[in-house]
């Protein structure tokens, strides 16, 4: 677990996650893994019981996971959302904005590069559930 970059204080779920289908059939698990083709909205009725959602990125170019994370956050989910798989350091800034709060990349990040990626952007144009104030809100007080 040492390769997980995490932005949460609570305890990590320490068992394996199940697929969305398996979760919906036997809803006693608290960790689910979303594949790119899965509909994150299928989980919305069960958010109370979920502590960890892993969103898999088999290839970095498949951006469905960004929407999945936002859909969950917009529905009020406040458990962990972890990006796993082909997660590159140049994407984690965007992922963070979409609601990911932990990262388990196939290839570990260079620590300095990861730090730079999170700290780089002083401003943002769009509001998301990450709470950052968009530029237009600053302009209009």
Tokens of 70: 């936002």
Verify binding: residue 115, another protein, rule CB under 8 A: no
Phi and psi based region of residue 76 (left: phi greater than 0; alpha: psi -120 to 50; beta: remaining): left
Cα separation, 57 vs 82, whole angstroms: 10
Min dist CB 15 to another protein, Å, is 29
Q: How many residues bind another protein (CB under 8 A)?
A: 39
Min dist CB 28 to another protein, Å, is 28
Residues in the chain: 141
Verify binding: residue 135, another protein, rule CB under 8 A: yes
Please pick, from the candidates 13, 42, 51, 62, the single residue that binds another protein as defined by CB under 8 A: 62
Cα separation, 53 vs 47, whole angstroms: 10
Verify binding: residue 116, another protein, rule CB under 8 A: yes
- 3-state SS assignment for residue 105: strand
Pick the stretch among 1-9, 14-22, 77-85, 127-135 that binds another protein (CB under 8 A). 127-135
């Amino acid at each position: 677990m040492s390769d997980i970059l995490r932005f949460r204080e609570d305890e990590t779920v320490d068992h394996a996650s199940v697929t969305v289908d398996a979760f919906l059939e036997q809803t006693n698990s608290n960790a689910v893994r979303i594949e790119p083709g899965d509909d994150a909205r299928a989980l919305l009725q069960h958010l109370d019981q979920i502590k960890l959602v892993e969103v898999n990125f088999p290839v970095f170019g498949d951006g469905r996971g960004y929407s999945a994370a936002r859909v969950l956050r917009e529905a009020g989910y406040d458990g962990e959302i972890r990006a796993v798989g082909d997660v590159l350091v140049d994407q984690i800034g965007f992922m963070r904005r979409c609601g990911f709060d932990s990262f388990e990349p196939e290839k570990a990040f260079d620590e300095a590069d990861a730090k730079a990626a999170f700290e780089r952007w002083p401003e943002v144009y769009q509001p998301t559930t990450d709470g950052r104030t968009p530029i237009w809100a600053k302009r209009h007080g």
